Structure 1
Amino acid sequence: MLLEQPLGQLATRIAGATAVFHQFKLDFCCGGQQSLGEAIAKRGLNQQQVLAALEKLQRQPQAAVDWHSEPTPKLAEYVLTRFHQRHREQLPELIRLARRVETVHSDSPHCPHGLANHLADMQQELESHMLKEEQILFPMLVRGVYPFGPISVMLEEHQEHGEALEKLDKLSFEQQLPPGACNTWTALYLGLRELKEDLMQHILLENEILFVEPKRPGHGDQSCCGSCQ
């Protein structure tokens, strides 16, 4: 039954579920261990609306990659190219846009004061986090080694990233634009929503699949790429 399943599990097994969770503001990455029913109750949502949206997705053809069945090297490479590289592109521009909005619209009650500095802090923390994954953890995972210590550190830092996203939402009024917002402000909030969705998906794949010792090809068998050997 969907209501009894953890959000993280649903998000990685139903294509498009993350869009539904974003729509209803359900935390499927750092809050991925709570059941769908618990999350719905906590937010006071209409249970049938959420279930109907997920059940509709289940009836559709599943075109998305099932990362549970893919070898670890392939998933690790995907995380590096799809998320690590993208975050490094997103944050410098978002910081620039935020500083511009805070300067030009400082008198507005809707101005996201402190957002640029918060994004700069996020950039620093994320860069440190990603380097540890790239230089230490991911090479071990590709070799089929799942070290408890480094994985625990990364999971703790994921919690901190989730808290940073909550602060980002607060500073930016959940990316709700004021009437007559300029193009820079509009671009900033569009970019923040993209960053938030990307980072949540990034954390989800690592927490629920990549950091979990798998029962799938990719660890020294003949179906694995040569980098695992």
Structure 2
Amino acid sequence: MEDFSNLTLAEIVNKNFLAATVFEKYNLDFCCRGNRQLKEVCMTNNLPLETIIEELKIIGQSNNSDLAYEQLSFTQLADYIVLTHHEYIKNAMPVLYRYLLKVATKHAAIFPELKKIFQIFVAIKKEMEIHLHQEETVLFPGIKKLEASPPGEKNNAVADDSFLETPIHLLEEEHNHAENFFEEIKELTNNYSPLSTACTMHKLCFSMLQ
């Protein structure tokens, strides 16, 4: 079991970037003052060490790692995607936006590529929000409706599934567009490899982007 109490804030975040959300909750600076041990910070600020450690353990747990996707119905798979991947993206994007804005504003003079990376991410964020909305309101309901159809009606629906062709085509185009954006970010970040002189938040941004 990981002994979080003796790790520094920066070490914990570098192991799992989701820890940043826990530290933010308690107003702990894991970036510029990330070299302090968790137990030291909690003692200094009169914070509940055990509670924070429990929260760090929870976010570190792998959820549904043994899920047998091939055994799920299309409806179950759609629900799983929305409840896990979509929720993760919706929660992570605003956090990453704040972090990228902060490092780009503060360190662009030293790392000029940060400004471009932030601009690309803003475009990705906008497209992803539209993409998720389309999946949740058009594609997935259409798939569920098709799967829930009685056998006779389902055969007719499968024969005439053109109502899904347009959203699927558009979503595929959006996937390709996003992939191009990330290829550009990958090049700008040297394959998500920050320099050793980069601050903790700078490194965290690259980890989250990857």
- Give the equivalent residue in structure 1 for 2:85: 83
- Give the equivalent residue in structure 1 for 2:127: 125
Say whether 1:175 aligns with 2:177.
no
Q: CA RMSD in A?
A: 1.9
Gaps of 5+ in 1: 1-62, 194-229
State the distance in 1 between where 2:112 and 2:198 align.
10
Shift, 1:111, TM fit: 4.3
- Of structures 1 and 2, the larger Rg is shown by 2
Which amino acid in structure 2 is aligned with residue 134 of structure 1? E
State the distance in 2 between where 1:97 and 1:104 align.
11
Shift, 1:73, TM fit: 1.1
State the distance in 1 between where 2:130 and 2:70 align.
27
For residues 154-196 of structure 1, the C-alpha deviation after alignment (integer angstroms, 9 at most, x for no partner) is: 1121111211211221232221111222111122122112xxx
- Give the equivalent residue in structure 2 for 1:191: 208
Matches within 5 A, 1:1-229: 64-109=66-111, 111-144=113-146, 146=161, 147-193=164-210
State the distance in 2 between where 1:113 and 1:99 align.
8
State the distance in 1 between where 2:90 and 2:119 align.
16
In the superposition, the TM-score normalised over structure 2's length comes to 0.57
State the distance in 1 between where 2:115 and 2:190 align.
11
Q: Secondary structure at the match of 1:112?
A: helix
State the distance in 2 between where 1:179 and 1:150 align.
44
State the distance in 2 between where 1:110 and 1:176 align.
15
- Say how many residue pairs are matched: 131
State the distance in 1 between where 2:183 and 2:131 align.
18
For residues 5-49 of structure 1, the C-alpha deviation after alignment (integer angstroms, 9 at most, x for no partner) is: xxxxxxxxxxxxxxxxxxxxxxxxxxxxxxxxxxxxxxxxxxxxx
Q: Secondary structure at the match of 2:114?
A: coil
State the distance in 1 between where 2:102 and 2:93 align.
14
Greater RCO structure (CA 8 Å; 6+ sep): 1
State the distance in 2 between where 1:174 and 1:113 align.
17
For residues 125-147 of structure 1, the C-alpha deviation after alignment (integer angstroms, 9 at most, x for no partner) is: 01111111111111010122652
State the distance in 2 between where 1:157 and 1:190 align.
23
- Give the equivalent residue in structure 2 for 1:45: none
Gaps of 5+ in 2: 1-64, 147-156
State the distance in 1 between where 2:108 and 2:115 align.
7
In the superposition, the TM-score normalised over structure 1's length comes to 0.53
Shift, 1:110, TM fit: 6.6
Q: 1:175 to 1:186 in 2, by over 3 A?
A: same
State the distance in 1 between where 2:181 and 2:128 align.
10
Which amino acid in structure 2 is aligned with residue 192 of structure 1? L
The structure richer in helix per residue is: 2
